Amino acid sequence: MGNTITEKILMAHTDLKEIRAGQLINAKVDIALGNDITAPIAIKEFQKAGGKKVFDKNKVVLVLDHFTPNKDIDSAQQCKFVHEFAMEQQVTHFYEGGQVGIEHALLPEKGIVLPGDLVIGADSHTCTYGALGAFATGVGSTDLAAVMLTGELWFKVPQSMKFIIKGKMPKWVSGKDLILNIIGRIGVDGALYKAMEFAGETIGKLPMADRLSMANMAIEAGAKNGIFAPDAITKEYVEPRAKRPYKFYSSDADAVYSDTIEIDAGKLEPQVAFPHLPSNVKGVSKARNIKIDQALIGSCTNGRIEDLRIAAAILKKRKAASTVRLIVVPATPDIYKQAIKEGLIEIFMNADAVISPPSCGACLGGHLGILAEGERAVATTNRNFVGRMGHPQSEVYLASPAVAAASAILGRIASPEEL
């Protein structure tokens, strides 16, 4: 009986010769991530446990991206605390100020996370890095503290679910639509503590930006991790970025899966997740005539240059409706610079968009895009729980950059086909 890619990566980080789903293991960690919300707690626990030096200054990553630029005194204090720790520990990968990108876009871009890695992060969307063929999962701040001390953590080996995607994706259908459709099919607990493994002819042609978007939202189905077997597309992305060795793993033909689900991508239209769950998914044709007050294009799910290009192509020579606040958030400084170079920022500004610095702020209802009572937003983010982006009586509809851009123009949820 063979192993899945998830089992192989976990096993490679132990001294075990065999591994099975449900087994408790202790594994060595390649990268441990914290941000300005979660790292302060971890640092305090690290210090409380008597920690003097992190296990490896090159493997602990600290990114101040959630409430920055500092939105108030409390956030400023937190950032100062993390900054002082990073300086004391001489952490190699510490990002603040003009270096800050949204963490789950920044780490792949910088080549910090690589295929075959075991990555933990005190942020639930750490599962993004599964797009590169890594095992990546979110943990609590106390677990991050344990890894900062020891470089190791215990895991229960997850069962794996296999999603085989076939067919040619229609125009305007993206990886975001695929993952929304999957979550709509299985529910927010449909992959509870399981690995979501994506395969099939459609996945083999899927660009890295779409893979990152899909792996990012595996947690919205309750998954432990989302993962893609690395291939030529992965290598093209990773090779110029990697500064250390990496390894490609793939599942054995006789690997065991708890479920196998096949999806025909050719039958999909752009998808929209209605409030207040990422699983409350309908096709965009069933979402029309829903008036919106805000459109947000960005986040760790859809703030990459490919996402901005799609949105700009739709917004070019058009304007956001006078009733809509359009907010665009390039996910990293390099993406921001590339968007300027390609003229995308000018297109957004001509469409009356507000351009935000790279930040998680609007997505989690922190700052830079808070919703008032009764307001509705269409957002390229990953969550639409009650109060996620502001007032508990506001509503968030999740969609792709294409749908968000078209909706901004028409003042209601819309498909680009309507323009």
Non-local (6+) Cβ contacts of 67 within 8 A are 36, 37, 75, 78, 79, 361, 366, 367
CATH number belonging to the domain at 5-263, selected among 3.40.710.10, 3.40.190.80, 3.40.50.150, 3.30.499.10: 3.30.499.10
Burial (CB < 10 A; 0-12, 13-18, 19+), residue 171, is: exposed
Residue ranges in the chain modelled with pLDDT below 50: none
State the DSSP code for 361: T
May I ask the CATH class of domain 271-418? alpha beta
Q: CATH 3.30.499.10 spans which residues of the chain?
A: 5-263, 271-418
Cβ atoms < 10 Å from Cβ of 250: 14
Q: Is the distance from CB of 226 to CB of 196 less than 8 angstroms?
A: yes
Please tell me the number of Cα atoms within 13 Å of 290 on its side-chain side. Answer: 28
Q: What is the pLDDT of residue 195?
A: 98
Cβ atoms < 10 Å from Cβ of 240: 7
Q: What is the pLDDT of residue 372?
A: 96
Q: What is the pLDDT of residue 288?
A: 83
Q: What is the pLDDT of residue 289?
A: 86
- CA–CA separation, 311 vs 316, rounded Å? 9
Helix axes 208-216, 103-110, angle to 10 degrees: 140
Nearest Cα residue to 121 out of 38, 182, 245, 179 = 38
- CA–CA separation, 411 vs 259, rounded Å? 40
- Render pLDDT for 83-95 as a digit per residue (tens, 0 to 9): 999 999 999 999 9
